[in-house]
Amino acid sequence: MMTEPASNQAIEVASIGPAMKLEAEQSERKPVLHRSHRVAIPLCVYSVTASMFLPVFQSLIYQKCIVESFSSVVMCVIGGVSSALLGRLGDAKSRKMALLVPFAGLILADCTLILQSYFSYLSAYWLILSEGMFALCGGYMSIISCCFAYASDAVSNSPSRSRSKTIAILEGFLGLGGTIGFLCTPLLKVVGFTTVFTAFSFLHCFCILCFFLLPDIKHQTEDGLPRPERTFCGCKTFNSLRRSRQKSHLPVLVFSFAVSFLAFIGECIDVCGSIHILFYYLKYRFNWDATLYGLLKGPLQAVSTVATLFLYPWLRSRRIADCSLVIAGIISRLMGRLWIAVAWNTHSVFLCEILTYIWFRFSFCLMLDDFDFTGIYFTCAYFILDRYHVDIIFINEPSLLLVIPIDSLSRFSATGLRAMMANSVMPEDHGSLFALVAVVEAVCNLLAAVVFHLLFPVSIPVLPQFSFIILASFLIIPLWLIWSVYLNFCSFAKFHLYCKNFEVRITYNQINLKSAPFLSFRSFQPYLV
């Protein structure tokens, strides 16, 4: 009975040894950019065009006197189905092929938009056709999901924190591209529609060239043969996710990502993406204009991008677990929504200092007792000070800029959840996983559009900040779920212990702390994946 575990351990060490040797040989070559990072360049370029596309496309539609809502619904529905199929295509056939297909549809859509902008007398329904062609080829959802799947596969033989760093870099480049596109949007008034869409097509061709230069990733069997039996069509698209390494918490992670993304997207867009709830809220309460709103959103996006691009990988290199960073990100996002909700009252600005204190307590003192008592202290302090109308700081419009440091870690939640989900499935199923995440994002887009587009106008006369209170309340759900995962991680987590005197990796897959009371969960926290 004792020979089986010993033989299994010997086989595992023998299989890990060549992989680590190959990884060491590859690290000695010292390439300029790892292949997992090279995919970030075209992703950033696409993010630039995607962030500029929405206002440019809306302006073109308004000139043709139609509504974009139908085209957005077409993109979400058709794009979700095609994105799922392309994710499975990357798992079964080729990662590079799955990357090239959506950009081919994007080039066709660009050509249609160029013709529409040049020949203004053409029917406006051709605009919906351009969106439909892009959606049939996967849409924006497949571009993002396939990039994350490729990068995750490229570091599949590396430690889990390498995958976390890679996902953080991609998330940061995605935000960087969005910031650049946001800054380039005013160029529309100078150069016109045709020039902008032509520039889009050239940038997308550059992305295709970058993908052609990437080495392909094909998953093979143990005999070195491809996997012809792995389907990527029909209802079996997401079946492979049932074979996840950690079945018990993968649905929890997906649901937490959905709720967190819903709270993030809820304040930004409606069905057609044209109305910013935050902008209209600030305009209603403080008479803000587009300039002040840009001064808020620009630095906020820049700070969160820098934090994701540099701070998150550095924290992971310091062996801080993804769970801890996800909790910090959710709390940062929750406090940002709360701060926006309460900052309109002249008697409640003191909340900023209390929320900052809570942020440090939650982020760096991850103990259940601290979690409970800090919430009690916060509630009592708020009601006492509000009861006696205590003025700590007098609010004005610039005080809303305090949301920038409070909300700076909000991207940590999405980055950490993507990394945890990628660690929960086999490498050959990353395409299906990130396609599922993309479909969840599309559904949350539509759901947030319907809910908050109807809720915000109704709540303006009664309680204008009600939508932000709802968004903050939503974030309590993923915070509690991830907190539960964090506390119970010992029962299903995968620990990595790197021995200083040996060049082997020992993997604890079936460790049971109940049968070994002398082991402490805190002692294994630095090695948590």
For 356-397, give the secondary structure using H, E and C.
Answer: HHHHHHHHHCCCHHHHHHHHHHHHHHHHHHHHCCCCCCCCCH
Q: Report the CATH number at residue 382.
A: 1.20.1250
CB distance 245 to 424 below 8 Å = yes
> Rounded CA gap, 177 and 43, in Å?
8
> Rounded CA gap, 26 and 14, in Å?
19
The pLDDT assigned to 425 comes to 84
The pLDDT assigned to 207 comes to 93
In a shared domain, residues 207 and 266: no
End-to-end CA, the chain: 30
Distances (CA, A) of 246 to 328, 422, 427, 489, 493: 23, 11, 13, 10, 8
In a shared domain, residues 67 and 189: yes
For residues 280-305, give the mean pLDDT: 76
For residues 121-136, give the mean pLDDT: 79
In a shared domain, residues 126 and 144: yes
> Rounded CA gap, 407 and 404, in Å?
5
* For residue 104, pLDDT beyond 70: yes
Q: Residues 6 or more apart from 398 whose CB is under 8 A from it?
A: none
* For residue 378, pLDDT beyond 60: no
Provide the number of structural domains found in the chain. 3
In a shared domain, residues 184 and 42: yes
The alpha carbon torsion through 413, 415, 417, 421 (nearest 10 deg) reads 180
The pLDDT assigned to 266 comes to 53
* For residue 352, pLDDT beyond 60: no
> Rounded CA gap, 13 and 3, in Å?
15
pLDDT one-digit tens code per residue, 160-199? 778 888 999 999 998 888 888 877 877 877 888 889 889 9
The pLDDT assigned to 1 comes to 45
For residues 520-525, give the mean pLDDT: 36
* For residue 527, pLDDT beyond 90: no
Q: Report the CATH number at residue 90.
A: 1.20.1250.20
Enter the tokens of residue 499: 């021995």
The pLDDT assigned to 356 comes to 42
Provide the pLDDT confidence category of residue 157 given band limits of 50, 70 and 90. Answer: confident
Whether residue 279 is contained in a domain is answered as yes
pLDDT one-digit tens code per residue, 397-410? 445 666 677 888 88
SS (H, E, C) 456-509: HHHHCCCCCCHHHHHHHHHHHHHHHHHHHHHHCHHHCCCEEEECCCCCCEEEEC
For residues 452-476, give the mean pLDDT: 83
In a shared domain, residues 458 and 524: no
In a shared domain, residues 523 and 440: no
Whether residue 235 is contained in a domain is answered as no
Whether residue 2 is contained in a domain is answered as no
The pLDDT assigned to 418 comes to 92
Whether residue 11 is contained in a domain is answered as no
Whether residue 226 is contained in a domain is answered as no
Q: Is the dihedral of CA 197, 202, 206, 211 positive or negative?
A: positive
For residues 78-94, give the mean pLDDT: 83
Q: How many CB atoms lie within 10 A of CB 270?
A: 21
Provide the pLDDT confidence category of residue 380 given band limits of 50, 70 and 90. Answer: low
In a shared domain, residues 171 and 255: no
* For residue 492, pLDDT beyond 70: no
CB distance 397 to 223 below 8 Å = no
Enter the tokens of residue 415: 């980055």
Whether residue 6 is contained in a domain is answered as no
SS (H, E, C) 80-147: HHHHHHHHHHHHHCCHHHHHHHHHHHHHHHHHHHHHHHHCCCCCCHHHHHHHHHHHHCCHHHHHHHHH
Q: How many CB atoms lie within 10 A of CB 506?
A: 14
Is residue 226 classed as helix, strand or coil in its secondary structure? strand
Q: Is the model more confident about 56 or about 167?
A: 167
The pLDDT assigned to 326 comes to 92
In which region does residue 30 sit, left (phi positive, over 0), alpha (psi from -120 to 50) or beta (all else)?
left
* For residue 438, pLDDT beyond 70: yes
| CA-atom Rg of the chain in angstroms | 24
CB distance 453 to 94 below 8 Å = no
pLDDT one-digit tens code per residue, 196-253? 889 999 999 999 999 998 888 876 655 444 554 454 444 455 555 655 555 557 888 8
The pLDDT assigned to 501 comes to 37
Is residue 220 classed as helix, strand or coil in its secondary structure? strand
For residues 139-157, give the mean pLDDT: 88
Whether residue 9 is contained in a domain is answered as no
Provide the pLDDT confidence category of residue 61 given band limits of 50, 70 and 90. Answer: low
In a shared domain, residues 525 and 479: no
In a shared domain, residues 274 and 398: yes
The pLDDT assigned to 529 comes to 42
For residues 483-505, give the mean pLDDT: 49
Extract long-range pairs of 23-32: CB within 8 Å, 24+ residues apart. 23/157, 23/158
DSSP string, 14-33: HHHHHHHHHHHHHHHH--SS
Q: Is the model more confident about 16 or about 181?
A: 181
Provide the pLDDT confidence category of residue 17 given band limits of 50, 70 and 90. Answer: low
Enter the tokens of residue 270: 């409606």
Nearest CA among 254, 272, 296, 130 for reference residue 201: 130
Enter the tokens of residue 507: 């993997």
> Rounded CA gap, 266 and 451, in Å?
8
Residue 210 lies in domain: 33-215
Whether residue 16 is contained in a domain is answered as no
> Rounded CA gap, 90 and 112, in Å?
28
In a shared domain, residues 493 and 507: yes
Least confident of 157-161, 417-421, 438-442: 157-161
Provide the pLDDT confidence category of residue 32 given band limits of 50, 70 and 90. Answer: low
The pLDDT assigned to 41 comes to 85
Nearest CA among 212, 220, 219 for reference residue 38: 212
* For residue 367, pLDDT beyond 50: no
Least confident of 17-31, 369-383, 443-457: 369-383
Distances (CA, A) of 250 to 64, 369, 420, 424, 447: 45, 27, 9, 7, 22
The pLDDT assigned to 502 comes to 39
Q: Is the model more confident about 354 or about 218?
A: 218
Residue 236 is given by DSSP the state G
In a shared domain, residues 398 and 444: yes
The pLDDT assigned to 239 comes to 56
In a shared domain, residues 440 and 505: no
